[in-house]
Structure 1
Amino acid sequence: MMVFHRFGILCLLLLTLPSTAKESFERTELREPCRDHQLTRQALFGDLHVHTSYSFDSYLSSQRRDPWDAYRYAKGGAIILPDANGDQTIEARIGRPLDFTAVTDHAEFFGQINVCTLDDSKLGYWWPHCMMTRASNIWLQLLAANWWTDLGGQLEDPPSKSFACSVSDCDKGDRETWQQTQQAAEDHYDRSEECGFTTFVAYEYTEAFDQNNMHRNVIFRNTEVPAMPVSVYDTGYDSFPSLWRQLRTRCTDQDNTCDVLSIPHNSNLAGGRMFRDPENERETLDRLFFEPVVELIQHKGASECRFDRLRKMGLDTIDEACDFEQIPADNLNMMGTVHGKVRTDRALEVPLEQFARRNMVRNALKDGLKIKQQTGTNPFVMGFIGSTDSHSAAPGSAEENNYVGHLGRRDAQYTNVQDHFFSNPGGLAVVWAEENSRDSIFAAIRRKETYATSGTRPSLRFFAGDLADELCQSYDMLEQAYANGVPMGGNIRGLNESPDFLVSVQKDPGTQGSAGTDIQRVQIIKGWVDENGVSREQVFDIAGRKDNGAGINPANCERVDQGMTQSCKVWRDPQFKVNEDSFYYVRVLENPSCRWSTLQCQAAGVNPFAENCASQAEKATALAQASGATGDVYSKCCIDPTSAAFYSPTLQERAWSSPIWYHSQ
């Protein structure tokens, strides 16, 4: 048992809570009341997908920071990370602290990494695979990575444990790592009235048979957690529905306050398997209960929608903004580039005709409406969050101008441009919660009052209901919106005319050293099924315009901002039909700014906008090779965006609200 009893004296403090605060969400933990408690809720920014040295793919990339370091980084502290040679020389610090974080190390390998890396008195520590994991040579590290993925059932063999477990106690290592994961979360959780920072006990369930990503981040509400996590070793080929069933048995069906969510991520790399048709009613109900939100963006790409800029063709979409941070491949082999060369054909670009529709979340949402017509229940009712998937213990490190990589030495310094050019810094999870506490944040995620960002921090509100035209001018706008409507993630039913949609956005204020970018456009994306049973979508620009004159200075990437700093509007669907089920969500597009890769290329003396970019790249590569680099380093900086389907040296940072669903009955 963890030493949580020291907080028992706080029981009496719960009795002093104002009645309005007690009624806003259920409290399941003992802690001091938060001084900052807002009934109209506040935006809290966080990261629910973070790996540390407890994860095999973090440790074998020369990354040595543990969960305590990750939480310290999230709160604004500095940590030391490996450089491209694997030496611990890079100091990293986030530009703005986060409000909440969950460390989500791979549960499958808790005990095995414990045995392989922590105690040289254990015989298993000296098993060759463990020695390769600790090696400093990049090729030995990559061979070890392949071995680990095979043990996890991600290649051809079923899940199995390392031989190191035959000579050392991996079960004990599992327990130790799980206890340390809990302790680190407890040590950094602010239980005082300041409520300055929230942590969650969490882990990652790492299913990826044949490298098709089915990963979930498992987030617990409080300190009531199972004795051990449910991993792929428990589910085997029964897959994620078995995860849900076992989470019920070990957590939610227990006679305590255990509660849990599983958050899918990277459906873009799932080979079409993440959002399959439910095989039975139990699977539908479990998905709806355990997975209220999906991670829409992280460093391995965005999963909203997909558009090929060269072919002017989308994956069941004509939305040109769907070219944003798309990974060319459709599986986890997308990371198979070393020293500038792609090492596996499965990392190559997959044509739209072969790319599964439901890799993209918007298509899954549309198909959910169709399934409801057939079965009476929509299995894909998901809100949105973003996160980083940092494997460098760097939660929230989603800033383009402060990006140190997320894969240890594998994308440190020049290797970021060389081998992970099409990756990105990831995104953030934002919740509208009354206070910065576990119960309040968890409840916000459960009701889907969340939004995702690509790394910046705009404020985004979205409501639907019976709302006044002049609501934006009302001093009590939020009180009225909650009283007469539902927020993002909510449901509205059986209307005779279009609901009133309130959309209120404020630009990211930025930091003292880096101002936020103005907003270019505010959009509402609608999905529905028409009278012929065909799924449809439409994008409405409700504020701003594409040709607003904003841009960047190609010489130095300084922004030329001519956009909006804020926008508030009550909007109605001009094509609304009372008998058509539909969903609506908001997308906020910022003005163009330079991508992280452009900034890092320019820092190396290679300007993607320059006519002599190729000669600059040759010179910079020669300098990098003189310092130890192998192979071509900087030629990707000079990719011509007119010949690349998904790449541009500039990007438009964005935010996506969780949808609001309209039900005709």
Structure 2
Amino acid sequence: MLTTAKFLAQKFLKAANKFTRSELIQLQFGTHPKSMLSLEKMARLVFAGLFTLLISVSAHAQDVAVEESDVTLDRREYSPYLHQAHPDRVFWGDTHHHTSYSTDAGMIGNRLGPEEALRFAKGELVTSSTGLRARLIRPLDFLVISDHAETLGLAPMIEESNPLLLKDPMGKRFHDLVKSGRGWEAYNIWKESGAANVDPMPNTELQRTMWERIIATVDGHNQPGVFTAFHGFEWTSTPNLRNLHRVVIFRDGKEQAKQVVPFSMFDSTDPEKLWDYLEAYEKRTGGRALAIPHNGNLSQGLMFSVETMSGKPIDTAYAKRRMRWEPIYEVTQIKGDGEAHPFLSPTDEYADYYTWDKGDFGLNPKQPEMLPHEYARGALKLGLEQEAELGANPFKFGMIGATDSHTSLATTREENFFGKFSGVEPGQEHRFTDLISQDLRPDGDGSLNVYHWESTAAGLAGVWARENTREAIFDAMSRKEVYASTGTRMLVRVFAGWDFEADEVHRPDFATQGYQRGVPMGGDLSDAAEGQAPTFMIRALRDADGANLDRIQIVKGWLDKTGQAQERIYDVAVSDGRKIEPDGRCKTPVGDTVDISNATFTNTIGDAVLAAYWKDPDFDPAQRAFYYVRVLEIPTPTWLAHDRKALGVALPEAVLAEPNKWLKHQERAYTSPIWYTPES
């Protein structure tokens, strides 16, 4: 909130207190009978609008900008949208994306750099590294080039025989191996160094050179209002082959980004050291940055651990600091879906969706006690328990999806999936046999192997903002007004408040009412009056080029009277006139129109639009809780079914043994939660 707003709010506080909340809203829109009276009351009008905005800001952390030019004291305005400040559009993008500048992409076949990645995201036709022409069905709105910080740009430097690289002894060795046709040997030397957490080429000058090349390309493609290109990188911490990776995103332009070089796992594998880096960046540049964790399912319980890397219990300071720097979590991507796990949620029939739970990156098998610390729903429940103990919630995150593509192509549709690496693009020999994670144990029996055919064509981030700019999109991420998609672009919106009525979800000013009287996804509720329970308004609209909707669900987590976290799922809207039973669940499946052999489906079932009003029937004002929305599409063919039809390829026997699991699925979206905290 701008200083102007704070000043006016303080100046007119006493005057505004003479009005009821409903009168304040009337004053804001100029419909109160006193609105056109004396200048003193005009001042009240100014404050009324600002006061309403301030209430909204404190409730759900909205960064609503009020300019001095917005405030008029001497006239009523006809247009009702002059002072509308709430987000009104969804912008779609990929926050986790690799080009040939990532060594684990460029050294194994990716020939496309940031330039091609950005052009592809903007909707242009691009030829892939294997010679296939590719294009998105619709352009994205934003992209983060997040190449790995570790030996950034090694492959392009080798390709061009960069003089700086040749001056570095290890750089020259890598160069000579590749140029002599021994590229895999060079890559394996690099990979083994990384696994041992030893920087094979500690050369800041090389890193800065390639970082500034990326910065120049990204800034050249940033078009405020049209397409947003973010500066960023991936910090690839993998202690003992356990995934603690984060993507770092900068809100700022090239002048700020050039003042630092990316922070790598060779600098530290401790997330708290990454937060130090982000804090130092902001102090040095006056800019802003955040980090997005991903793939808790490969972390062996470290991603949402209640201990620090040094083994100490996390404390209040840790909890606050983590949420300061990591407000959102990448809940779904190519390497599996991380919303829920069937072991943790046995009554959730939709929990087993692309579940990767064999182990880490091939060294350590999974143990059941790790799972609550790896999946988003389990972490959100842990967060409630920690908040009750610490007074701060370390896992109070919003949710997004991203690709983790290493092909430079952000493809998430099932019929247009170019895979994780260039070597597994459509039609390539190893598309089904490639091991994304290999059993590396000396006596391993292969049970930790994860094949590329087990990948999901996911995901995307949906961001509610007012404009397509770095500032607006970054700020939406910071306040968690975002949601995750497994690749589809369905529109989802949810508001929670204390006094919504059942018919208001159908109001044309649904969003205005939601912001004025409630909070959106990512927001907070508190101070429940006696007899009150949270009420929710939800809308979902199918992807214009995709499948109809099956159902809207609310996933609730809460602390029971013993302090233990519980969960429950409620179906709140279902398609095709099906019935929701008194226990809050619809027992009738939506149906299935998928023709697996032809990789087709029809929208003759499901609904294009679903809307829901829901009041928590089991609310206890003394219990901490969170609520998030999950929306499911009707069944559709997977990329494996499309591959078989389009390319005539033979699928793995494991796929054919379970066709209903691997050849069709129900795509979905997850909103950021809304939290309820008792006043005490």
TM-score bin (small chain): 0.7 to 0.9
> What is the DSSP-based 3-state SS (H/G/I as helix, E as strand, rest coil) of the residue aligned with 1:54?
coil
Verify the 8 A CA contact 2:300 2:366 in the aligned structure 1. Answer: no
Correspondent of 1:99 among 128, 141, 155: 141
Shift in Å, 1:323? 0.9
- CA change 1:468–1:303 in 2 (3 A) is same
Q: Deviations over 1:543-585 (max 9, x none)?
A: 1155223331233122143101111122111111111100000
- 1:442 and 1:90 map into 2 onto residues whose CA distance is 33
What is the aligned partner in structure 2 of residue 7 from structure 1?
Answer: none
Shift in Å, 1:368? 0.7
Verify the 8 A CA contact 1:293 1:384 in the aligned structure 2. Answer: yes
> What is the DSSP-based 3-state SS (H/G/I as helix, E as strand, rest coil) of the residue aligned with 1:158?
coil
Shift in Å, 1:449? 0.2
- 1:100 and 1:242 map into 2 onto residues whose CA distance is 28
- 1:204 and 1:530 map into 2 onto residues whose CA distance is 38
What is the aligned partner in structure 2 of residue 549 from structure 1?
Answer: 591
- 1:410 and 1:447 map into 2 onto residues whose CA distance is 37
What is the aligned partner in structure 2 of residue 149 from structure 1?
Answer: 191
2:548 pairs with 1:526: no
> Any gaps of 5 or more consecutive residues in structure 2?
1-49, 54-61, 68-81, 308-313, 435-451, 575-585
- CA change 1:148–1:318 in 2 (3 A) is farther
> What is the DSSP-based 3-state SS (H/G/I as helix, E as strand, rest coil) of the residue aligned with 1:200?
strand
- CA change 1:550–1:639 in 2 (3 A) is closer
Q: Deviations over 1:131-174 (max 9, x none)?
A: 4556867xx53x5444323333xx3x333233xx6xxxx32221
- CA change 1:526–1:116 in 2 (3 A) is same
Shift in Å, 1:636? 4.2
Shift in Å, 1:406? 2.4
The one-letter code matched in structure 2 to 1:503 is I
Verify the 8 A CA contact 1:53 1:65 in the aligned structure 2. Answer: yes
What is the aligned partner in structure 2 of residue 498 from structure 1?
Answer: 533
- CA change 1:579–1:554 in 2 (3 A) is same
Verify the 8 A CA contact 1:451 1:657 in the aligned structure 2. Answer: yes
Correspondent of 1:597 among 633, 640, 650: 640
What is the aligned partner in structure 2 of residue 400 from structure 1?
Answer: 414
What is the aligned partner in structure 1 of residue 103 from structure 2?
Answer: 56
Correspondent of 2:118 among 57, 64, 71: 71
> Any gaps of 5 or more consecutive residues in structure 1?
1-18, 28-34, 84-88, 308-313, 334-344, 511-515, 607-616, 618-632
Shift in Å, 1:475? 2.2
What is the aligned partner in structure 1 of residue 208 from structure 2?
Answer: 175
What is the aligned partner in structure 1 of residue 243 from structure 2?
Answer: 213
> What is the DSSP-based 3-state SS (H/G/I as helix, E as strand, rest coil) of the residue aligned with 1:161?
coil
Shift in Å, 1:445? 0.4
1:456-471 to structure 2, matched below 5 A, reads: 456-465=488-497, 466-471=499-504
- 1:132 and 1:316 map into 2 onto residues whose CA distance is 50
Q: Normalization by structure 1: what TM-score? A: 0.79
2:90 pairs with 1:43: yes
> What is the DSSP-based 3-state SS (H/G/I as helix, E as strand, rest coil) of the residue aligned with 2:611?
strand
The one-letter code matched in structure 1 to 2:432 is V
2:174 pairs with 1:129: yes
Shift in Å, 1:285? 2.0
Verify the 8 A CA contact 2:316 2:390 in the aligned structure 1. Answer: no
What is the aligned partner in structure 2 of residue 366 from structure 1?
Answer: 381
- 1:175 and 1:368 map into 2 onto residues whose CA distance is 38
Q: Deviations over 1:88-115 (max 9, x none)?
A: x122211210001110001121265564
- CA change 1:103–1:66 in 2 (3 A) is same
Correspondent of 1:576 among 606, 619, 626: 619
- 2:352 and 2:552 map into 1 onto residues whose CA distance is 17
1:231-380 to structure 2, matched below 5 A, reads: 231-232=263-264, 235-237=267-269, 239-249=270-280, 251-254=281-284, 256-277=285-306, 279-307=314-342, 314-333=343-362, 353=368, 355-380=370-395
What is the aligned partner in structure 1 of residue 442 from structure 2?
Answer: none
The one-letter code matched in structure 2 to 1:219 is I
1:570-649 to structure 2, matched below 5 A, reads: 570-605=613-648, 617=650, 634-640=652-658, 647-649=661-663
Query: RMSD over aligned Cα, in angstroms?
Result: 2.6
Correspondent of 2:521 among 465, 471, 488: 488
The one-letter code matched in structure 1 to 2:390 is T
- CA change 1:583–1:355 in 2 (3 A) is same
The one-letter code matched in structure 1 to 2:548 is D
Verify the 8 A CA contact 1:404 1:413 in the aligned structure 2. Answer: no
Q: Normalization by structure 2: what TM-score? A: 0.78
- CA change 1:273–1:500 in 2 (3 A) is same
Correspondent of 2:151 among 95, 98, 109: 109
- 1:71 and 1:317 map into 2 onto residues whose CA distance is 42
The one-letter code matched in structure 2 to 1:659 is P
Q: Which has the larger radius of gyration?
A: 2
- 2:400 and 2:419 map into 1 onto residues whose CA distance is 20
Correspondent of 2:600 among 553, 558, 563: 558
Verify the 8 A CA contact 1:25 1:439 in the aligned structure 2. Answer: no
Q: Deviations over 1:253-303 (max 9, x none)?
A: 23x431001000111111111112153443222211111100011111111
Verify the 8 A CA contact 1:266 1:303 in the aligned structure 2. Answer: yes
- CA change 1:228–1:118 in 2 (3 A) is farther
2:219 pairs with 1:186: yes
What is the aligned partner in structure 2 of residue 447 from structure 1?
Answer: 479
The one-letter code matched in structure 2 to 1:56 is T
Verify the 8 A CA contact 1:230 1:243 in the aligned structure 2. Answer: no
Verify the 8 A CA contact 1:61 1:409 in the aligned structure 2. Answer: yes
- 1:394 and 1:135 map into 2 onto residues whose CA distance is 29
> What is the DSSP-based 3-state SS (H/G/I as helix, E as strand, rest coil) of the residue aligned with 2:415?
helix
Shift in Å, 1:187? 0.5
> What is the DSSP-based 3-state SS (H/G/I as helix, E as strand, rest coil) of the residue aligned with 1:538?
strand
The one-letter code matched in structure 1 to 2:64 is S
- 1:355 and 1:133 map into 2 onto residues whose CA distance is 40
Shift in Å, 1:306? 1.3
> What is the DSSP-based 3-state SS (H/G/I as helix, E as strand, rest coil) of the residue aligned with 2:433?
helix
> What is the DSSP-based 3-state SS (H/G/I as helix, E as strand, rest coil) of the residue aligned with 2:261?
coil
> What is the DSSP-based 3-state SS (H/G/I as helix, E as strand, rest coil) of the residue aligned with 2:641?
helix
> What is the DSSP-based 3-state SS (H/G/I as helix, E as strand, rest coil) of the residue aligned with 1:296?
strand
- 2:653 and 2:487 map into 1 onto residues whose CA distance is 26
Aligned length: 561
Q: Deviations over 1:500-522 (max 9, x none)?
A: 11111111111xxxxx1010111
Percent of paired sites with the same residue: 31
What is the aligned partner in structure 1 of residue 9 from structure 2?
Answer: none
- 2:357 and 2:63 map into 1 onto residues whose CA distance is 48
The one-letter code matched in structure 2 to 1:455 is G
- 2:181 and 2:494 map into 1 onto residues whose CA distance is 49
Q: Deviations over 1:192-238 (max 9, x none)?
A: xxx1101111111110112111110000001223623342356424x
Q: Deviations over 1:296-330 (max 9, x none)?
A: 111111111112xxxxxx23543121111112423
What is the aligned partner in structure 1 of residue 229 from structure 2?
Answer: 199
What is the aligned partner in structure 2 of residue 311 from structure 1?
Answer: none
> What is the DSSP-based 3-state SS (H/G/I as helix, E as strand, rest coil) of the residue aligned with 1:295?
strand
What is the aligned partner in structure 2 of residue 24 from structure 1?
Answer: 64
The one-letter code matched in structure 2 to 1:188 is H
Verify the 8 A CA contact 2:245 2:293 in the aligned structure 1. Answer: yes
